[in-house]
Amino acid sequence: MSRSKPKYLFIGLGTMGYSMAGHLSKLKDIDLFIFNRSKRVSKKWLSNFKGQEFIKDKFSEIKFNGLILCLKDDASILDILFKQNFIQLIKSSGFILDHSTTSLELINEVALNDKFISKNLSFFDAPVSGGEMGAINGTLAIMYGGPNSKSNVIKKIMNSYSSSITKIGPSGHGQLTKMVNQLCIAGLLQGLAEAITLGKSSNLNMNKVFDAISGGAAQSWQMDNRFKTMVDDSFDFGFAVDLMIKDLRIALKQANLNDLNLKTTKEVLKNYQKLSRNDFGNLDTSSLIKLFNL
């Protein structure tokens, strides 16, 4: 008798999840289902990739080997798992692979939930880095925390949409690493915004400036991918300001618990909040440079 394929449910087809689920759908030895709040997005995804839309009434008997989440925040995850009761769809000894960026409190709240404990589930906090293009190209960097069990299973899943996977440590260490990641990005973008503003105000040829400095000590992913679009005042892509505000708040809360005063991060957060108040919350985080014209 042939062995049935493992069944996974991918929840959250946003900027990142849409392409991540698309790459996962190309694995031939799994059955993939997708669920998204917007039916329009689900229909679009199904027209481009192989899988099935999960509908509770239609698939009430299905039990999944694992849920893969890529959602906005803590509240969205708690709503899906417990208010909408998706956790009941996971087989005993199954897993939750969470690619969202969340607080450490979220991980504890899930792990201490009676339904989670009774099913003997495993939870992996596995936030991603690499932006929308990383998701589209399947080259995301993933930092994750969690138990050692099922590592081969979740790595196979993550390999479909990433080029770098690093297990940092136990549960929570993935999110802590993402906090470090976001602080690095925020500081770099503030520096780029100030540097580009100085160059433009001095009437420099910014294409030549990029050629001159991008191969030296100033080089970074942010410079390679955002310098020219910042010069061109183009920000309708990538990771949104409002999401960075959420992430920096999480990181600063942890810093306070560690008795750290992260002055630069606090200032950058204020700048992002100013952008959001001026209706730029959906722009890419490199839009920090717009503050010099407000």
Q: Do residues 187 and 223 lie in contact, with contact meaning Cβ atoms separated by under 8 Å?
A: no
178 catalytic residue (yes or no): yes
Q: At 98, list the tokens.
A: 């969470």
Q: Do residues 271 and 291 lie in contact, with contact meaning Cβ atoms separated by under 8 Å?
A: yes
DSSP H or E run through 284: none
One-letter amino acid for residue 80 of the chain? I
Judging by beta carbons within 10 Å of its beta carbon (0-12, 13-18, 19+), is residue 279 exposed, middle or buried?
A: exposed
- Pairing mode of beta strands 64-69, 7-11: parallel
Sign, Cα dihedral of 264, 245, 236, 76 = positive
Angstrom distances, CA of residue 20 to CA of 40, 41, 61, 148, 175: 18, 14, 26, 23, 19
One-letter amino acid for residue 105 of the chain? E
Q: At 263, list the tokens.
A: 């002055």
Q: Do residues 267 and 261 lie in contact, with contact meaning Cβ atoms separated by under 8 Å?
A: no
Q: Do residues 248 and 269 lie in contact, with contact meaning Cβ atoms separated by under 8 Å?
A: yes
Q: Could you give the CA distance from residue 169 to residue 185 in angstroms, rounded to a whole number? A: 22
- Spot the catalytic one: 7, 150, 167, 178: 178
Q: Could you give the CA distance from residue 165 to residue 162 in angstroms, rounded to a whole number? A: 7
Q: Which residues are catalytic?
A: 178
